[in-house]
Structure 1
Amino acid sequence: MSRSRYKSLVDAFAVDIRSGRLPPGTRLPTHRQLAASEGLALVTASRVYAELEAMGLVSGETGRGTFVRETSLPPGHGIDQPDVTAGMLDLNYNYPSLPGQADLLRTALRQLALSGDLESLLRYQPHGGRLHERASVARHLAFSGLNVPAEQVLIVNGAQHGLTVALMALLQPGDVIAVDALTYPGFKALALALHLEILPIPATENGPDLAAFEKVCRSRSVRAIYSMPTLHNPLGWVMSLEQREQLVAIARKHDLLIIEDAAYAFLVENPPTPLAGLAPERTVYVSGFSKSVAAGLRVGFIVSPAEKIGALERIIRVTAWNAPGVMTAITSAWLDDGTVSRLEAQKRKDAQTRQLIADELLAGLHTVRHPSSYFVWLPLSEDARADQVAAALLREQVSVSTAQPFATSVHVPHAIRLALGSVDVVSLREGLAKVKRVVEAHAWA
């Protein structure tokens, strides 16, 4: 087949899709059917669909076929911050805030202005943060069952920066890192940017399939595992102590680095011991205060084995030099006076209230969630397509995420994730009612 003929077929499909003659959700002919109808070699028919998929116009789904994609969704929907227009209900991102937090900031700034330490905040800080501020974080972590010396805590510019520092310092391009088949999109994007090979681990209802994890460790040269054992994003599981001990045993057997993400762990009361407490010699624990306090508070921290501190500090210096002095000083003061603990308790209660609203308004739909989390995973029926549901909700002025940004395997489930923490409860009720109506309409379509 000539290149012009091959390109003409790709272009014809593209025109039909963009014009709406082939609407979203249309099942296209199989590769063999296309080859037969157009007089093509099978490999050429596969190339046609591959190019259309690279253009973002179709998606091939194992066992189901090739479908026209919904092209009205914003690019990277669920990863890039969308332009949320006036009247749009944002159930895509979580930036939970409580009444009165702005007043807390005003008070903190006034107190900081009256302190005798302002001069020091105008200078460069130690790369890992000032020791008394690291000690504030260490004392706070003790309430979560993680007892570490201040010297093993490093302050960074938010949890995402902490993950960046950990990967850059401790892994090399080409290293294989095991992750859940559905995982935090920010980590997925970071690992790909750093040229790490992501190895998806299947999920069960209550955590990763550790038997599958053990199996891949025997067959592949896995270097590390990224885990969210306490309030997984997006599935909301909390791994049991037995599961954690089993994961640690596998990591020790195969000499793996463990990267533990605890961004949402504060929402769970009395969780099992963190992985960093069970395997302190090989676990890098990363979290921050964007969810527990405020999204604009770009202060995070890393807890690391002592021998890795130097490598981590070098990457902090390379990527940011040091944490923001003013914000870190405010965070440290809030840790010491109990403000952070109070906000965490209030947000646990707030998340529980929002989950009760979801109980009511999503009744009858299958959901996967934790009763004190800020998100809901909503698997769709076999006949429904996530991109069409998300696009229909956008037309209803509701923004949600599909499974695409979370998926690390070839198979992307048809599901949507609902973030409950970024709108007031009245708007949340309105948004969830629309979600149920749209999902049910697509289920019966």
Structure 2
Amino acid sequence: MFKKVLIANRGEIALRVIRACKELGIETVSVHSTADANSLHVRFADHSICIGPPQATASYLHLPAVMSAIELSGADAVHPGYGFLAENAEFARDCARLGVTFIGPSPEQIEQMGDKATAKATVKAAGIPLVPGSDGLLSSVEEAALVAEQIGYPVLLKATAGGGGKGMRIANDAEALASAFTVAQSEALACFGNGDLYMEKMVVQPRHIEVQVMGDQFGNVVHFGERECSLQRRHQKVLEEAPSPLVDEEMRTSIGQAAVDAAKAIGYSSAGTVEFLADPDRNFYFIEMNTRIQVEHPITEMITGVDLVKTMIRSAAGEPLPFKQEDIELKGHAIECRINAEDPATFAPSPGNITGYHEPGGYGVRVDSWVHDRAKILPFYDSLLAKLVTWGENREEAIRRMRWALDEYVIEGVKTTVPFHQGVLKDEEFLSGTFDTGFIARYLERQ
């Protein structure tokens, strides 16, 4: 097992990793910007190192500064968390050059699944269903038009290096395709330095279903069931639940096996998530694989009883998975609300100082947060304040428990999305479980 782990992140995920390391008897090192000097992840780690000014590009995303901190700390392993450098293959490669274990997949696995076109080719060879689309990158608008004619409109243009909805445009007909191609290409080039695009047919009334997987260094891979992630605004998840109201046992078996097959196709040996689109008839199609721990991993932990972060660390240390697929049982239902420092009406960021703070509690309630009374909510980083998670024997109980927890949650000094979630949990479409990725837009129109 590792002796000292540096956590190359901030906020709630840094605290989550610190707690897992403490349970494993591992010394921890946090890194921080000057703005985060008094943050909880700095206070709770055994050691801390400042890596730069407040801007993420000059600190948490500044690879030379992070690598210097790793070398200075004497850590024998690094956990990247999610976001920032978590899916940066060069970061994983630099750690290996330094003789430090990257708690995650290999650089080659990150690259293979990080490039959307390569990932699609890999899973296609493994027999995993894909949304009909271009065989590779689109060289021109003319080629895009030919592909669109073959697969039928509407189509979705996507940046091969994309994420978070950037470099993505819908074209409903040939007339709209040319401008959509130009805009998507320009946005992808500006955001990722890579303007390469590919095309997929639009799935009507799609659900966003993802499957949590875990691999070890002995070729073992298991899945932990699915998560329902269809509640998104501008391609950003706002509420997740597990299991999905759509998925029955037959689909769970097949989509779980597809996720395992995708991971095994690249010899995957860490925590990862395989994402799919599903239609109302329970047909599913591979979208991408995220080669890191996900924001929403707590809901899977709540229904399986497995500590995914500790398992991820143990796997990186060379330990085999302590369970087989038949050992993984899904019990009950869990829901996660992402509580952001945003105006619930406009979703505009709401930085400021926390003047009052009280977390909800009780059986089946979990809060993963970095916030405390008098904490400063800074404009430099993601607006996530907390992940509020509830568990119940069934979906109805988990929803009731979440309503109470939201009512009990006190965050004063900044605007938050608590009222937004309170409204969603009373909405008939959400309660029915028949929603799709267009739910949030429809919900906001109803208000």
Range into which the TM-score falls when normalised by the shorter chain: under 0.3
TM-score scaled by structure 2? 0.26
Between Structure 1 and Structure 2, the one with more strand by share is 2
TM-score scaled by structure 1? 0.26
Tell me which of the two structures has the higher relative contact order, counting C-alpha pairs closer than 8 angstroms and 6 or more residues apart. Answer: 1
Between Structure 1 and Structure 2, the one with more helix by share is 1
